Structure 1
Amino acid sequence: MALRVNDIHRVRYGTFTRPRAETGTEHPRVEVVLGYAVRHPEGLILFDTGIGAADAETDAWYEPSRVPLSQALAGAGLGVEDVDLVVNCHLHFDHCGGNPALAGRPVFVQGHELATARAGDYTVPELLDFAGARYEELDGEAEIAPGVLVVPTPGHTEGHQALVLRCADGTVVLAGQSTETTSELATAFRQVGAARDTGRHDLAPAPPWVARLLDLDPRRVVLAHDEAVWEPA
C-alpha cells in the first residue's frame, strides 16, 4: 500500500513564548510547537517529539505550555507504542523532548547536529543521551524508508534537516524549523522561482536547500512553529 497525503497527521505539543529579545519587536510572541506522525506502510514515523523538561532558567525565559507526548499522540489517534522510528529536525529541547519516552527506537539525525548537541550549551543533556538512546547518524541526504527522504536544510542550526515524503498523491515536506514562518518560506520559494524564470541575479538570495526542495515538486510544506501550510499557487 502506497503512502498518501492523508497518512500524515499533525501532532500538537503545546506552545512557548518567544521573548522580546528574540522577536526583534517590543512584544513577546506565542509560538506553537508541532510534530508530524506518518503512517508509512513499513511503520509509524514520528517527526519531532515535543517540548522537553528543561531547567528553571529556560522555563522562565520561554514559558512553555507542554502537551506530554502520550497526550499529543492520542490527539492524533495514536499511542507511544505505535511509533517505530523518529526523525528530529534538530535537537533543541522543543523538538526532541519526547525522545526519552521512545527509547530503543532509531532516531535519525545529521551527524553534525548530534556532535554539536553533545559539545554542550546547546540542548538539555538528559534529552540527548538517555538510557536506550539509539541514533542513526546521517551525512547529508538519505532515503530512510521507501519514498522517505531526509534533506539537510541548514540555517536555524547547521545540522537542521527536513523530511520529504513521496506520497502517491503528491510530495509533502515536513520542514521543521527550516524557516520560522510559512510566509518566510513562501518568499524564499518565490525568489528562487523568479531567479530561475528571469535569470536575474539581484534578487534576495535564498539558502541552497530552498532550490532543492522546489526541485522535489512539493504539493505541501509544513513547519514546526506555524500552523499555516504552504501549497503551490
Structure 2
Amino acid sequence: MAGDNAVRRLDLGYFIRPAEEAGGPHPRVEAVLAYLVDSADGLILFDTGLGRGDDETEAHYRPHRRPLPQALADHGVRLDDIALVVNCHLHFDHCGGNPLLPGRPVFTQRTELATARAGDYTFDHLVDFPGVDYRELDGAAEISPGVRIVPTPGHTAGHQSLVVRGPDGVTTVLAGQAYDLATDFSCAQLARRAAADGAADPLPPYHPWLDRLTTLDPQRVLFAHDPAVWQA
C-alpha cells in the first residue's frame, strides 16, 4: 500500500575489494545495494549505487554496475517517481546515481558534505552537479512519518542510517556501511550485550550509537554491501 513505509531492496551490482582491504588472503566480492522506502511523502531512495571514478579506482575495485534506472524498473519505478534521496555517506559507491536525480532533496549530515567537498575523499562530479539540492543535518531527523535519519559514525564521521517503522509495526534499520557485514553487526550487538550483563574485560569495542539504536527496537537490519539480514 502506498505510503506504508514498506522497504524494497535494489541490486546495483558489485565490486571486488582487494585482499589487503578485505582483511584476509583473498579478495572479497561485495554487493552494492540500495533501498526504496514507500513513505507518506513519496518514494525515498536510500543510496544510489556505484558512480564512475578515475581509472585508478576502476582498476582497484573492478566494479560491475547495474544501472539505477534498470534496478528501479524491476519494481515498476522510474527515476521521476523518486521524491527524496538519503545517502548513508558520500563515497562513490553510495552516491553514484545522485546526478540522475537533480532537484530531489538529498539528506546528508553537514559533517559528511563538508568532508566530501574538502577533497581526497570522493569524486567531485558525484557531489556537486547541476540541480543538486542538499538538506544538511546536524544529527537525527524525522524526514517523513515513521522514517528517521540517525547518525551512525564510524566508517566515516558523517555516516548515517535510516530507521523505518513499517506497516506491520516492525522497525527496520537501513544501516548502509555502518558495518560492512551482518556478522560484524551481530558481533557488535553481542559485545554490547556482554558489557550490559557486566562481563569482565577484555571485551571487544562497539560503536556507542548502538545503545541509542537499540532503544528504537530494531527487528531487522539491512546493509549496503551484504545481502544478509540481521534479525533480532
TM, length-normalised to structure 2: 0.95
Deviation, 1:3, is: 5.5
Matches within 5 A, 1:150-165: 150-165=149-164
Work out whether residues 36 and 48 of structure 1, in 8 Å CA contact, stay in contact via their aligned partners in 2: yes
In the TM superposition, residue 45 of structure 1 has moved relative to its aligned partner by 0.2
Q: Cα offset for 1:9?
A: 0.4
Moved more, 126-135 or 184-193: 184-193
| Regions of 4+ moved over 3 Å | 1-5
> Residue 218 of structure 1 aligns with which residue?
218
Where do 1:133-152 residues align within 5 Å?
133-152=132-151
Q: In the alignment, is the contact (CA less than 8 A) between 1:171 and 1:219 conserved in 2? A: yes
Structure 2 counterpart SS, 1:51:
coil
Preserved contact between residue 3 and residue 41 of structure 2 (Cα < 8 Å): no
Q: Please give the alpha-carbon distance, in whole angstroms, between the structure 2 residues aligned to 1:227 and 1:36.
A: 12
Contact 1:110 1:140 in 2 (8 A): yes
Kindly tell me: are residues 219 and 2 of structure 1, through their superposed partners in 2, closer, same or farther at Cα, counting changes over 3 Å?
farther
Quote the residue 2:57 is aligned against. Answer: 58
Distance in 2, matches of 1:101 and 1:180, equals 26
1:110-149 paired onto structure 2 within 5 Å: 110-149=109-148
What is the CA–CA distance in structure 2 between the aligned matches of 1:103 and 1:36, rounded to whole Å?
Answer: 19
Distance in 1 between residues matched to 2:29 and 2:165, nearest whole Å: 32
Find the aligned partners of 2:153 and 2:185 in 1 and give their Cα distance: 14
Name the amino acid aligned to 2:195.
A
CA contact (8 A) 1:32 1:224 kept: yes
Q: Deviations over 1:28-59 (max 9, x none)?
A: 11110000001112210000001001111110
Task: Give the Cα separation in 1 of the matches to 2:56 and 2:76.
Answer: 34
Match of 1:33 in 2: 32
User: CA contact under 8 A between 1:107 and 1:135: conserved in structure 2?
Assistant: yes
Alignment check: 8 A CA contact 1:3 1:166 kept: no
Q: Residue 130 of structure 1: CA displacement?
A: 0.2
Count of residue correspondences: 230
The answer (yes or no) to whether the contact 1:93–1:127 under 8 Å persists in 2 is yes
- Structure 1's 2 and 52: CA in aligned 2 closer, same or farther, altered over 3 A? closer
Q: Which runs of 5+ in 2 are unaligned?
A: none
Contact 1:10-1:76 within 8 A present in 2 as well:
no
Q: Indicate the larger mover: 165-174 or 128-137.
A: 165-174
- Which letter maps to 1:187? C
Question: Tell me, which stretches of 5 or more residues in structure 1 are unaligned?
Answer: none
- Return the alpha-carbon distance in structure 2 between the equivalents of residues 225 and 118 of structure 1: 24
The answer as to whether partners of 1:2 and 1:167 remain within 8 angstroms in 2 is no
Partner of 2:209: 209
CA RMSD of aligned residues (A): 1.4
